[in-house]
Structure 1
Amino acid sequence: MHRRRLVRALSTSTVVVSALLAGCAPLLAANPRYATDSGARPQGQPAPEPKADGPPAVESPKNDLSWRNCTSQIFSESAVDPLPGVILDCASYDADLDPIAGATGSVSIGVVRARSVQTPENAGPLVMTTGSDLPTSVQLPVWLSRAGADVLKSNPIVAIDRRGMGMSSPIDCRDMFDRQEMLEQAQFQSGDDPVANLSAITQTATTNCTDTIAPGDSAYDNAHAAEDIERLRDLWDVPALALLGIGNGAQVALAYAGSHPDKVARLVLDSPLPVGIGAEAATEQRVKGEQAALDAFAAQCAASDCPLGPDPKAAVDALLADARAGNGPGGASVATVADAITTALAYPRGDRTAATNSLASALAAARSGDVNQLNNLINQADTLRQTDGQFVNTCSDALNRPTPDRVRELVVAWPKVYPQFGAVGALSMVQCLNWPSGSAPKEPQDLKIPVLLMGVQNDPIVGNEGVSQVAATIINAGTSSKRVIWQGIGHGASIYSECALAPMIGYLDSGNVPETDTYCPA
């Protein structure tokens, strides 16, 4: 058996490490508010009190779900220590399988509510979604362990998992061989056409998965995820919702604003992409973000005299080159190594210096023949981001997909521009080439509330171009927005920057965005 099969058998530690680094905030308005992490509050005047004719209040549910305490379970599954005074409750509800096209049946949607001893009894909830990037129920405890618990002083948080993922009814539709080959991008198959090799695997996986979810094979896209949120609002019997969408969750929140513009009381779009972005454009933005995050990590690593030596980027490049040539650590493919690095950069744990050194240590050890730490990261990336539910949802959202011949062109072209992640990024588009084609959700129109946009300078999941693109969508929707830009490394400014969280809390409280854009250093 090839050595690469040993990768999945090694430790499944759930520690994710990364680094944060300063950069330059893009596209800020004139005279932005400069902020620091001191006290987790930006400098400047506090947000004004809401006017009587201002944004609607965030109301408490009139009819609530049947909650059960799941504090220990959720914190444990996220590898986060429970927080004193923070209570997590779990519930589920049934949503129509396809309220858009009318297919009969239902799906179970899982939600997790966070409260603290400080949360007002009758406060309305903030509904949080990370979409298909990773289960929201997994990211919620991480957020709470950093600065997210500050939100609980004024509002409970309800994390909603996308259908087929996390606390929602999971999807199990690929066999072990197909899953492994897709993780490795069929690198170890014979032949000189990786696109054809991987396409044959994904064709089988697509057939199996569409058969499994039938008759809902067109019911797992952003638009249907938005309708699952509307079902929750209807069950609660509240007039409007406060929404926080991060990454793909921001696309879901935008889709909700497009289909239910009068049901939105607050709209925070963190690390967004446009709802109608094509697969090639979205993938290239992600690859750019991966390269930017690696550059920022390497600079921070060198500055802290990390275990990768004086040229950390060259060391990482050598590791990836070895994997690309079939000599990866422990037999790992280049795709699994690249995905492990990306995931570690996107979802950091701990402070910046410690996280930088931890990732550097894992990579340095792998280069020396000790693959245990790297295998922990590979398995973590697999668990967080490569489930069958994510495959189904991600492909359901992939629009205007390139042809196989176009992917072949990009497999050659992108590595010249994006040396570390270009080829893996181009091949990643093959997994959705056989999936049934979908259509973009309706963009929002006639929004009555201002929108808070947030972004990260070095985001390895979506890149950093989406904020400006979505800002144009908000203008076309007839309302205004302000931006909060964090210059660190990670996916979700509100998750990983206390400074960036402060304007969001003010917006949730008053319904008014800050008077100017906010710049947050790493």
Structure 2
Amino acid sequence: MIAMSRLARRASILLAAITLTAGCAPGLSTPPDFATDSGSEGGATTETSAPPAGPPAIAAPADDLSWTDCTTRISAAAGVPAPAGVKLECASFQAPMDPIGGGTGQLSIGAVKASSTSTPTDAGPVVFTTGSDLPSSLQLPAWLHRSGVDILAKHPIVAVDRRGMGSSDPIECRNPADRRDMRDQTQFSSGNDPVSRLGAITLTATTDCTDALANNAAYNNAHAGEDLEKLRSTWDVPALALIGVGNGAQVALSFAGAHPDKVARLVLDSPLPLTIGAEAAAQQALAGAQDALDVFAAQCAASACALGPDPKAAVTALLDDARADRGPAGMSVAVLVNAIITALGYPQGDGAENTRRLADALNAARGGDAGALTELVRAAEARTGTDGEFINRCSDEFNRPTPDRVRELVVAWGKQYPQFGSVAALNLVKCLNWPTSAEPTEPKELKVDVLLMGARNNPIVGSEGVAATAATVINAGATSRRVMWQGVGNGASIYSACAMPPLLSYLGEGNLPQTDTFCPA
């Protein structure tokens, strides 16, 4: 019977490999079944009287954290009120500074738990992370305003912030003037070479931050994964159920690769491969941002939005003015680009509402009223412009381009992606001086099947990482299925209610859908 079970397992993996190889290009080469609530209990069976082995149960903590109600504070920080009947609670736990390298010291990791009046008191939690894209604790309330609250009927959700971000111990190490100049990509400084100007500022910022940190090597994906292991051991549970979105998917995959026996569920939403280089990652995100802008412009025109019959031309004109130092309220082009991409990547309301909101803000700024656009800028900076975000992002980057290569990309990407390309290229300069971490390795073994998700128009990480991560899952001996959403945003699980049925089914018993799932925009 053991031999038969192994043969069935290998046959299942081989079938998944054949299926995914046929669709290895970004998106799906063969349209999968439309989203459905059925078909979530597939998989090979063997003739045996014993129940088939499944993934570990999602267990309740034997020794929980000390939670304190923080519904009002977290909701206010996220700009989204908690849904009726939902409570947010905050806690922290101490994690070793460097469990990988063996260094000394500890730091505080923040967590936020969401539960509702219908959440069973003895239910095990689902752990949620968005990594360094933005604090997990700020994305959680936005998710709960969509379909994330559906999970609370079975499990509480615990969002874990990366080191130095959100509710974890904050880090402030850059001079405020350097932080501002990095935000503006030194647009308003003298000199003809923006790469050299920005490089000089980031060198100072890097020196200041590495001097301020007890261990600058302890802020990468691998160490963030070890923080999840510390949470697991603190809870005294055998395994974690993980949902990682964007960079959070890399964190979750790092944990799963290092601790394959301690994973109950693994959902990788909008992932990037652990071993992707800095330039490739930047170009994938840039392509996703361009796709998102195109969708925004089409939706805007179709709804007769405030930007007029050619919204893309209106956005381009606004960006050109900013490049020429005539930006609204004196904004640099980098600040304006970051605000637009952040608004597209983390939409508020449904697609039509977010399109209208962004269009109204941009149009008002064209007319001289930059108030609404300034609020978008402030929200983007608060979520993506902190020193903790700078440190974590740079710690994850490797195979960085040279300054001369960045100069080439400023020109090449500026032509290929005229709205966002030059800004994306210059952003690569920000981490050029950061000490390089050891190159990560892909997981050699995964002991649970993996649910992969992705958004067709993802302006934060792009969409190409889903297919590459599917190959990683196969190579690690596991099976995966994909849920692909055709909308705009960073995370199908966050922004598409259609993605929730297969997610809930997988969380329930660990069974993947029988087929890939297609979710319309």
Range of TM-score over shorter length: over 0.9
In the other structure, the counterpart of 2:244 is 245
Structure 2, unpaired ranges of 5+: 1-24, 46-50
Instruction: Read off the aligned partner of 1:33 and give its amino acid letter.
Output: D
- Structure 2 counterpart SS, 1:146: coil
- Superposed, which structure 2 residues align to 1:118-197 within 5 Å? 118-197=118-197
Instruction: Read off the aligned partner of 1:514 and give its amino acid letter.
Output: P
- Superposed, which structure 2 residues align to 1:309-458 within 5 Å? 309-458=308-457
Q: Is the 8 A contact 1:33 1:44 kept in 2?
A: no
Q: Is the 8 A contact 1:259 1:442 kept in 2?
A: no
- Structure 2 counterpart SS, 1:440: coil
Instruction: Read off the aligned partner of 1:390 and give its amino acid letter.
Output: E
| Partner Cα separation in structure 2 for residue 354 and residue 244 of structure 1 | 27
| Partner Cα separation in structure 2 for residue 45 and residue 437 of structure 1 | 45
The Cα of 1:261 is off from its aligned counterpart by: 1.0
The Cα of 1:143 is off from its aligned counterpart by: 0.4
In the other structure, the counterpart of 1:209 is 209
The Cα of 1:47 is off from its aligned counterpart by: 3.8
Q: Is the 8 A contact 1:92 1:109 kept in 2?
A: yes
Q: Is the 8 A contact 1:414 1:423 kept in 2?
A: yes
In the other structure, the counterpart of 1:500 is 499
Instruction: Read off the aligned partner of 2:458 and give its amino acid letter.
Output: D
Q: Is the 8 A contact 1:162 1:168 kept in 2?
A: yes
The Cα of 1:358 is off from its aligned counterpart by: 1.2
Q: Is the 8 A contact 2:446 2:478 kept in 1?
A: yes
The Cα of 1:218 is off from its aligned counterpart by: 0.5
| Residues 292-325 of structure 1 deviation map (CA, whole Å, 9 limit, x = unaligned) | 0000000000000000000000100111111111
- Structure 1 counterpart SS, 2:145: helix
Mapped pair 1:474 → 2:459: no
| Partner Cα separation in structure 1 for residue 274 and residue 99 of structure 2 | 19
Q: Is the 8 A contact 1:113 1:156 kept in 2?
A: yes
Instruction: Read off the aligned partner of 2:184 and give its amino acid letter.
Output: E
TM-score by length of 2: 0.92
Distance 1:228 1:160, change over 3 A: same
| Partner Cα separation in structure 1 for residue 482 and residue 137 of structure 2 | 26
In the other structure, the counterpart of 2:293 is 294
Q: Is the 8 A contact 2:130 2:249 kept in 1?
A: yes
The Cα of 1:43 is off from its aligned counterpart by: 4.8
Mapped pair 1:513 → 2:509: no
The Cα of 1:31 is off from its aligned counterpart by: 5.8
The Cα of 1:48 is off from its aligned counterpart by: 6.0
| Partner Cα separation in structure 2 for residue 161 and residue 55 of structure 1 | 26
Instruction: Read off the aligned partner of 2:148 and give its amino acid letter.
Output: G
Structure 1, unpaired ranges of 5+: 1-24, 36-41
| Partner Cα separation in structure 1 for residue 139 and residue 277 of structure 2 | 26
The Cα of 1:33 is off from its aligned counterpart by: 2.1
Instruction: Read off the aligned partner of 2:386 and give its amino acid letter.
Output: T
The Cα of 1:441 is off from its aligned counterpart by: 2.7
| Partner Cα separation in structure 2 for residue 296 and residue 324 of structure 1 | 24
Q: Is the 8 A contact 1:261 1:445 kept in 2?
A: no
| Residues 106-149 of structure 1 deviation map (CA, whole Å, 9 limit, x = unaligned) | 01000111111111121111000000000000000110111100
Q: Is the 8 A contact 2:244 2:250 kept in 1?
A: yes
Instruction: Read off the aligned partner of 1:90 and give its amino acid letter.
Output: C
In the other structure, the counterpart of 1:11 is none
Count of residue pairs the alignment pairs up: 491
Mapped pair 1:80 → 2:99: no
| Residues 255-281 of structure 1 deviation map (CA, whole Å, 9 limit, x = unaligned) | 111111111110000010001110000
| Partner Cα separation in structure 2 for residue 358 and residue 121 of structure 1 | 39
The Cα of 1:44 is off from its aligned counterpart by: 3.5
Q: Is the 8 A contact 1:28 1:483 kept in 2?
A: no
Q: Is the 8 A contact 1:33 1:43 kept in 2?
A: no
In the other structure, the counterpart of 2:94 is 94
- Structure 2 counterpart SS, 1:208: helix
| Partner Cα separation in structure 2 for residue 518 and residue 265 of structure 1 | 22
Question: Which range moves more in the overlay, 187-196 or 65-74?
Answer: 65-74
In the other structure, the counterpart of 1:110 is 110
| Partner Cα separation in structure 1 for residue 473 and residue 39 of structure 2 | 25
Instruction: Read off the aligned partner of 1:445 and give its amino acid letter.
Output: K
Distance 1:75 1:48, change over 3 A: farther
Question: Which range moves more in the overlay, 26-35 or 203-212?
Answer: 26-35
Instruction: Read off the aligned partner of 2:118 and give its amino acid letter.
Output: Q
Q: Is the 8 A contact 2:97 2:104 kept in 1?
A: yes
| Partner Cα separation in structure 2 for residue 300 and residue 67 of structure 1 | 43
The Cα of 1:446 is off from its aligned counterpart by: 2.2
Instruction: Read off the aligned partner of 2:317 and give its amino acid letter.
Output: A
Q: Is the 8 A contact 2:269 2:491 kept in 1?
A: yes
The Cα of 1:344 is off from its aligned counterpart by: 0.4
| Residues 34-90 of structure 1 deviation map (CA, whole Å, 9 limit, x = unaligned) | 02xxxxxx3544546996411221111111111111112111211112222111111
In the other structure, the counterpart of 2:9 is none
Structure 1 vs Structure 2: percent identity of aligned residues? 61
Instruction: Read off the aligned partner of 2:399 and give its amino acid letter.
Output: N
| Partner Cα separation in structure 2 for residue 431 and residue 227 of structure 1 | 26
Q: Is the 8 A contact 2:26 2:466 kept in 1?
A: no
Question: Which range moves more in the overlay, 406-415 or 441-450?
Answer: 441-450
Instruction: Read off the aligned partner of 1:384 and give its amino acid letter.
Output: R
| Partner Cα separation in structure 2 for residue 250 and residue 138 of structure 1 | 17
The Cα of 1:30 is off from its aligned counterpart by: 4.9
The Cα of 1:28 is off from its aligned counterpart by: 3.0
Instruction: Read off the aligned partner of 2:283 and give its amino acid letter.
Output: E
| Partner Cα separation in structure 2 for residue 31 and residue 465 of structure 1 | 17
